[in-house]
A and B are shown apart, each in its own frame.
Chain A
């Protein structure tokens, strides 16, 4: 039975990191998964929800509900967006006519690595990537989705890849959505701490599965001229596929 899934590319992915979406599609299709892209999707509503604007978040979420209404599975390239749908959509729509639909969508929405391991059941990958990499798990992915070992298992399947665990991996990178611009002093201190840990590993690349965290840490790595390349896990798998 073919597994069919819709891609949740997320607003950041659509606007700033389309190559991650492209890579995710490539990997999914190579694994025999049928992928479609419901164009009605814009944003899961997380920025508004986290800032307390629930009506506005609900409006965005309704558009998501509509866009993905016919999807069998939904795969997100950002863990925090998958977490928004899985964890917060039931709260956002509680007691409202859309509640059942929201719960149903939550139940079939996955983060990328979570989908590969838990749904598609991947246990080997024909991929190669000769680099020393470290990995940032992202707080929402770790704590709201419970996704920790899935990306590590995927990394373990890639030939030539040297994985160095990130010190104090459970610590937040300081993004927190609008927090990064509402409390920039605290946020930049936290991202500096995270960058220090990344540099400690001596890795050439920092990988992750959440574009907001990667944008945050990557932005600071770049400002500090670190030379560390920042990429989504999907990009590494796609690039190294079949090598």
Chain B
């Protein structure tokens, strides 16, 4: 679509924003990568969703910034959060022992689960022993990670997610979209439909009415549940206290009303003592939801004491490893500093473009791109570290200073080296399961060629000469449309050539949406060599005498 030369450039008549990408044909294979591509593609193509996610991020970013300005000296606070987390990880064994001893001293039970299966079995065992019919859950990422819901359902109990977003996602049968907002992608009409079906009546398309309906349904579940399962935002080692940071009140109800309370907690979520809890309690709400503090912070130390008016009679804390100890002691250890605020996803341009379901994991956003491959293995997740432009917005947003971009680069190095996951040794040497496929072989080969050229100036000069020589064939030098013609000539002229380009698909991936500039008539190096040397010396290289 060509605009007249004298038309105003203002957005009054915006140029067409066609996706410029080839029509998509369903791929032959169904692999994690093809599923990823399909989801990303679908999210981009869904313009209302695109605008919705864009707006969601804009709002979140605004509140994040407000909360940090309100706090003042946010950088110093971030340093302190990072220091507390690093210290804790450096002494994790000691704090785990202290935490467990104190939970038991307060009358709670502690179970150490090496993996998902052990954790599931323990909790299901508690449910069976107590004849549990109804379970309420306050959002716990780890319980999703280990697949607890299915295990509890298998005991015959009814399991209800009570966090509003998680409840809606559960009813829709969908994975959570975002760490703190499981249903952020859903718009009002769909939520109305989902909650109406659950309520068995047509509800109005009005947020308060929908919230009210959920409140009524879930209130009944809370009051009649025999088991409450919660996560833990933090565990205070010095007193064996489990801390929950929530806004809705479902966290409090889940941990107060049923007779038995089970906490499922990642083993890295400890804090040495109450004083070191402060920076985490200050920064988690500000980074995560852009608030000074959440409506509720519950600090639970053991089950109810004798004479207490309410509270569960039995408390179980399940401390989950499930791959975390394999990350400890490796170059990936900093990822365990994460406090699960979800801020990285709020600032990530790739997240808002491809959507939370593209991660195919309970952990979404930049943290998911790092954690999912580390916990699940690189096999089948090797594309996630590449789903990033390394723009660094996540690094700037993270309150715990998790060096996400650097960790993504490390993962990419492991993928290129054909690794399956972090090696058991602290050194970077990866294990030797080869990464899949022709695509990576192509890149490996290509970069070998790159290295050969990058170390040989003459080879580079020759390549540039050849490229310059191709200018007349590649496109016309007339006016500023040269770039455009280059793209169309590559397509239509000499079909043999376009087939060559189809092979690796690399150049086509560019020219589908963008024009590519023609190689310059003469490289800079050539221009420099031809440069007139008048008067004072202008050396052309190092080692000139007198310097």
**Chain A positions near chain B (C-beta within 8 angstroms):** 4, 6, 9, 11, 13-19, 21-22, 34-43, 45, 47-56, 59-60, 62-63, 67-71, 91, 139-140, 143-144, 170-172, 174-193, 195-196, 199-200, 202-204, 215-216, 218-220, 222-229
Chain B residue with minimal CB distance to A173? B389
**Chain B positions near chain A (C-beta within 8 angstroms):** 1-3, 5, 7-11, 14-17, 19-21, 37, 40-41, 44, 50, 54, 349-350, 353-354, 386-393, 395-396, 406, 409, 411-417, 443-444, 447-448, 450-451, 453-457, 460, 464, 467, 480, 483-484, 487, 505-507, 509-510, 512-520, 522-528, 538-544, 547
Chain B residue with minimal CB distance to A214? B517
Report the separation of the CA atoms of residues A203 and B9 in the bound assembly, to the nearest whole angstrom: 7
Partner of B523 from the list A18, A52, A224 (CB cut-off 8 Å) is: A18
**A176 B391 Cβ-Cβ under 8 A:** yes
**A70 B9 Cβ-Cβ under 8 A:** no
Report the separation of the CA atoms of residues A184 and B387 in the bound assembly, to the nearest whole angstrom: 11
Known contacts A35-B538, A186-B44; is A140 also within 8 Å of B21 by CB? no
Report the separation of the CA atoms of residues A225 and B454 in the bound assembly, to the nearest whole angstrom: 35
**B395 A143 Cβ-Cβ under 8 A:** yes
**B483 A219 Cβ-Cβ under 8 A:** yes
Report the separation of the CA atoms of residues A160 and B109 in the bound assembly, to the nearest whole angstrom: 74
Known contacts A199-B14, A219-B510, A225-B3; is A189 also within 8 Å of B353 by CB? yes
The contact sample of 26 A-B pairs, CB cut-off 8 A, is: A14-B523, A22-B527, A35-B538, A36-B540, A36-B541, A37-B524, A38-B542, A42-B457, A43-B450, A50-B409, A52-B414, A53-B443, A56-B447, A59-B454, A70-B544, A140-B392, A171-B349, A176-B388, A181-B505, A183-B387, A184-B510, A186-B353, A188-B514, A191-B513, A222-B480, A223-B514
A79 to chain B, nearest CB (A): 12
**B454 A60 Cβ-Cβ under 8 A:** yes
Known contacts A69-B542, A174-B349; is A40 also within 8 Å of B44 by CB? no
Residues of B within 8 A of A55 (CB): 451
**B460 A42 Cβ-Cβ under 8 A:** yes
**A53 B444 Cβ-Cβ under 8 A:** yes
**A185 B413 Cβ-Cβ under 8 A:** no
**B514 A189 Cβ-Cβ under 8 A:** no
**B519 A15 Cβ-Cβ under 8 A:** yes
Number of A-B residue pairs with CB-CB distance less than 8 Å in the complex they form: 271
11 extra interface residue pairs, beta carbon distance < 8 Å, beyond A47-B450, A184-B509, A190-B353: A14-B523, A17-B520, A18-B526, A48-B451, A54-B416, A62-B455, A139-B389, A139-B393, A176-B390, A192-B17, A215-B516
**B451 A60 Cβ-Cβ under 8 A:** yes
**A186 B354 Cβ-Cβ under 8 A:** yes
Report the separation of the CA atoms of residues A189 and B353 in the bound assembly, to the nearest whole angstrom: 7
**A183 B386 Cβ-Cβ under 8 A:** yes
**A185 B37 Cβ-Cβ under 8 A:** yes
**A4 B547 Cβ-Cβ under 8 A:** yes
Chain B residue with minimal CB distance to A49? B409
Partner of B484 from the list A53, A202, A223 (CB cut-off 8 Å) is: A223
Partner of A188 from the list B19, B416, B525 (CB cut-off 8 Å) is: B19
Report the separation of the CA atoms of residues A107 and B415 in the bound assembly, to the nearest whole angstrom: 31
Report the separation of the CA atoms of residues A216 and B20 in the bound assembly, to the nearest whole angstrom: 14
Residues of B within 8 A of A178 (CB): 386, 443
**B415 A52 Cβ-Cβ under 8 A:** yes
Residues of B within 8 A of A196 (CB): 11, 14, 17
For B37, B413, B417, which residue has the most chain A Cβ atoms within 10 angstroms?
Answer: B413
Known contacts A59-B454, A184-B21; is A18 also within 8 Å of B520 by CB? yes
Report the separation of the CA atoms of residues A185 and B353 in the bound assembly, to the nearest whole angstrom: 9
Partner of B389 from the list A18, A49, A59, A174 (CB cut-off 8 Å) is: A174
Chain B residue with minimal CB distance to A64? B454
Residues of A within 8 A of B522 (CB): 18
Residues of A within 8 A of B517 (CB): 16-17, 215, 218-219
**A53 B416 Cβ-Cβ under 8 A:** yes
Residues of A within 8 A of B483 (CB): 219, 222
**B457 A39 Cβ-Cβ under 8 A:** yes
Residues of A within 8 A of B9 (CB): 199, 202-204, 226-228
Residues of B within 8 A of A203 (CB): 9
Residues of A within 8 A of B7 (CB): 227
Chain A residue with minimal CB distance to B484? A222
**B417 A52 Cβ-Cβ under 8 A:** yes
Chain A residue with minimal CB distance to B539? A36
**B453 A42 Cβ-Cβ under 8 A:** yes
Report the separation of the CA atoms of residues A46 and B513 in the bound assembly, to the nearest whole angstrom: 23
Partner of A184 from the list B5, B414, B512, B527 (CB cut-off 8 Å) is: B512
Report the separation of the CA atoms of residues A55 and B454 in the bound assembly, to the nearest whole angstrom: 12
Residues of A within 8 A of B515 (CB): 218-220, 222-223
Residues of B within 8 A of A170 (CB): 393
